Structure 1
Amino acid sequence: MTEIRTPRLLLRRWQPDDDLAPLAEIQADPAVMSRVGDGTPRSLDETAEDIERWEEEWDDEGFGVFAVELLGPGELAGAVGLYVPDAPEQVAGQIGIQWRLARQFWGQGYASEAAQATLEFALQDRGIDRVVAVTAEGDTSSEKVLHKLGMTPLPGRAEGCMLYAIDLTEFEG
């Protein structure tokens, strides 16, 4: 089982029996989901489908979205990981990084810590040459995380989105 420990977090595979309810609560929050996909909160059934899809990606691709757990209390803080975006076309089919954390964990550096560990995993452990990111225009919190990761904006525009990337040669993990 793939696990990554950081100073404050455990990034691990999903345990649907334990993780479904807390993740569903996170994904039902309109503020959290306003930064994810089309911004629509997700139901319990949709969250179960997300976990199932993420676990299938792990099995099929050798990478996926981690459950993010706080070390110590063991509380599920959210999700961070790798996926293959199907849009926008400038990054479709490439390997992307994404995250979503419960609102009570915003502004504490958890997103940066988890994303940094995930990027190291992608580039060093899985040998992925390049990782992209898609964030909504105006999502300054995510943009700060992307800059901390060393990701740089891609040229051109995608409607309503900012696109970023980092190549292995630029990574300073």
Structure 2
Amino acid sequence: MTEIRTPRLILRRWSDDDLVPLSEIHADPEVMRWIDDGSTLDLDATAEAIERWEDEWDEEGFGLFAVELLASGELIGAVGLSVPEHLPQVMPAVEITWRLGRSYWGQGYASEAAQATLEFALQDRGLDRVICVNRAGNEDSENVIRKLGMAEDGTLNHPESGALLSLHSIDLTEYEA
């Protein structure tokens, strides 16, 4: 079982106990406004998302981690890697992505988990390059992206919603520098 420990977090595969707390995060319009078309997700849609992420783990050897606080075991969100097939203009690619419950914003958890995930991607999984796609205006995520050392690669529009997205990337040589 793949698990990463950081000073404050555990990044791990999903369990049945994660469904309800993640569905509560997915039900928050403030959390979801930056994700896909901005729609909230109910319990069934959250279960489908976890199933997709677990399938990606089985097929690709990576996926989104459940992120919990080391001190309490409380689920605070999801951070991990995915193949952004919904954005054919960036393929082939592996994207780092995150979503945390609103009460965990502004505490450095997203940066801590994303940095551990980036190291996992480039050093453990042997990926040569990782991208990040961010919706224009999401300054909090832009800050995380900067902390990861990613360079901006331009913009594109979401194929379904038309939202302006910024594309960032980092490769193994840039990461090691």
Asked if residue 6 in structure 1 is aligned to residue 10 in structure 2, the reply is no
2:174 is matched with: 170
How far off is 1:142 after superposition?
Answer: 0.3
Query: Are 1:88 and 1:158, in contact at CA under 8 Å, matched by a contact in 2?
Result: no
The alignment-based identity, stated in percent, is: 64
Coordinate RMSD, CA, aligned:
1.1
State the distance in 1 between where 2:77 and 2:86 align: 23
The residue matched to 1:38 in structure 2 has which SS?
coil
Structure 1's consecutive aligned runs of 4 or more residues displaced over 4 angstroms after TM superposition are none
Larger CA deviation: 83-92 vs 48-57:
83-92
Larger CA deviation: 91-100 vs 135-144:
91-100
TM-score, with structure 2 as normaliser: 0.94
How far off is 1:38 after superposition?
Answer: 1.0
The residue matched to 2:122 in structure 1 has which SS?
helix
**Structure 2: where are the runs of 5+ without partners?**
158-163
The CA deviation string for residues 16-69 of structure 1, in whole angstroms up to 9 with x for no partner, is x20000000000100000111111100100000011111111011000000000
Q: How many residues align?
A: 171
The residue matched to 1:90 in structure 2 has which SS?
helix
The CA deviation string for residues 146-173 of structure 1, in whole angstroms up to 9 with x for no partner, is 0100001003x21210110000000049
- Written as runs of structure 1 = structure 2, the 5 A alignment for 1:39-118 is 39-118=38-117
**Structure 1: where are the runs of 5+ without partners?**
none
How far off is 1:117 after superposition?
Answer: 0.1
How far off is 1:88 after superposition?
Answer: 3.1
State the distance in 1 between where 2:95 and 2:109 align: 19
The residue matched to 2:54 in structure 1 has which SS?
helix
How far off is 1:87 after superposition?
Answer: 3.7
Match of 2:156 among 150, 158, 167: 158
Amino acid corresponding to residue 82 of structure 2 in structure 1: Y
How far off is 1:90 after superposition?
Answer: 3.3
How far off is 1:86 after superposition?
Answer: 1.9
Structure-2 change in CA distance of 1:60 and 1:88 (3 Å): closer
State the distance in 1 between where 2:8 and 2:117 align: 14
How far off is 1:91 after superposition?
Answer: 1.6
Asked if residue 121 in structure 1 is aligned to residue 140 in structure 2, the reply is no
TM-score, with structure 1 as normaliser: 0.96
The residue matched to 1:154 in structure 2 has which SS?
strand
The residue matched to 1:57 in structure 2 has which SS?
helix
